[in-house]
Amino acid sequence: MSEFELIARIIPQLPRNESVVVGAGDDCAVLDFGIAGRLLLFKTDAVVEGIHFTKEAEPEKVGHKALARCLSDVAAMAGTPTHALVTLGLPRTFEVGFVDAIYRGLNRLAARHEVAVVGGETTTNPERSFISVSVLGTVPKEKCILRSGAKVGDAIFVTGTLGGSLEGKHLEFEPRLAEARWLAEHFEIHAMMDISDGLASDLRHLMRASGVGAELLSTAIPISRAARSSRRAAGDGSGLPAGGDGARKPPLLAALTDGEDFELLLTVAASQAVILLDAWKERFADLPLTCIGRIMAEPGLLIRDKEGTRPLLEHGYVHFA
């Protein structure tokens, strides 16, 4: 049973109450606690040694990543993070300096985004370390963006470049919080999420939530320099090669499937595409925004290149697969 098959099995069993606007299945849970004009966002995520980082990774960067993953999900809904709880699992033989460094990285990112770290839990975990972070945030009711709003004919955009994250980006990325809030403030973004499992998988999640299909243009996919130059096989973007043989993954395939890019994936009416691009270049000159395809009525994910259009069969990273 894959990660997503397991999730699909669990979700129907989950209890809800009247505060739940959006439950499991989007980047964050969305809750209404009666705060005038605002909704609460609630997210949890974990990084596990051997899956999301190696024993050799710099612990400050591991701490940064542990919080940044949750902040990226808050960004995907155009929200503002406010508070965090941290659960730390450690082997009995842990080094205090390792913990100090994790919190230096985590606290530095929290301070930059005015996130209060208000507690958590510590526990023994044999053999390997993990950090689990839960984050609260808020978003204006009329600006909360879900995965489920994509419309037929929409242009599909991504921020930044994709692929090759295991070369370092997966430990150093900056959540696109300011960019997402700007998008929600100035444009009617129909659907948005962050790219964590790889474009080929995450676009499918958005399509499934919205009940649509999509077509990508292969020559438009913004491939990172790391994906073009890497000689290592990519896995889930964790720094752990999937094949273990050092084989090179083709750059386009890396951009589609590596994962842990933590860029924004969004859709907007095609009539707004050029206006959005022009405004973006003025506001965020150092960060690319690229139109990579379109939303279609027909189900399925297609990719178009010089040879024609074909179904995209590749997927990104899936736990338990």
The residue whose two tokens read 């958590």 is 120
The whole-number pLDDT of residue 98 equals: 97
The whole-number pLDDT of residue 2 equals: 83
Tens digits of per-residue pLDDT, 160-199?
Answer: 999 999 999 999 999 999 999 999 999 999 999 999 999 9
Low-confidence stretches of the chain (pLDDT beneath 70): 230-248, 321
Distance of CA 311 to the CA centre of its chain: 24
Contacts of residue 97, defined as CB under 8 A and 6 or more positions apart, other chains included, come to: none
The whole-number pLDDT of residue 237 equals: 38
The whole-number pLDDT of residue 235 equals: 42
| Residue among 166, 145, 139 nearest 265 (CA) | 145
State the pTM of this model. 0.93
The whole-number pLDDT of residue 217 equals: 98
- Positive or negative: CA dihedral 109, 177, 48, 233: negative
Q: Is domain 3-143 classified as CATH 1.10.3720.10?
A: no
Tens digits of per-residue pLDDT, 11-61?
Answer: 999 999 999 999 999 999 999 999 999 999 999 999 999 999 999 999 999
What residue ranges do the domains of the chain occupy? Answer: 3-143, 147-311
Torsion of CA 102, 105, 109, 115, to 10 degrees: 30
The whole-number pLDDT of residue 4 equals: 82
Is residue 155 within 8 A of residue 248, CB to CB? The reply is: no
The whole-number pLDDT of residue 247 equals: 54
- Positive or negative: CA dihedral 276, 281, 284, 286: positive
Mean pLDDT (the chain) is 93
Is residue 146 within 8 A of residue 62, CB to CB? The reply is: no
The whole-number pLDDT of residue 245 equals: 36
The whole-number pLDDT of residue 318 equals: 79
The whole-number pLDDT of residue 83 equals: 98
- CATH architecture of the domain with range 147-311: Alpha-Beta Complex (3.90)
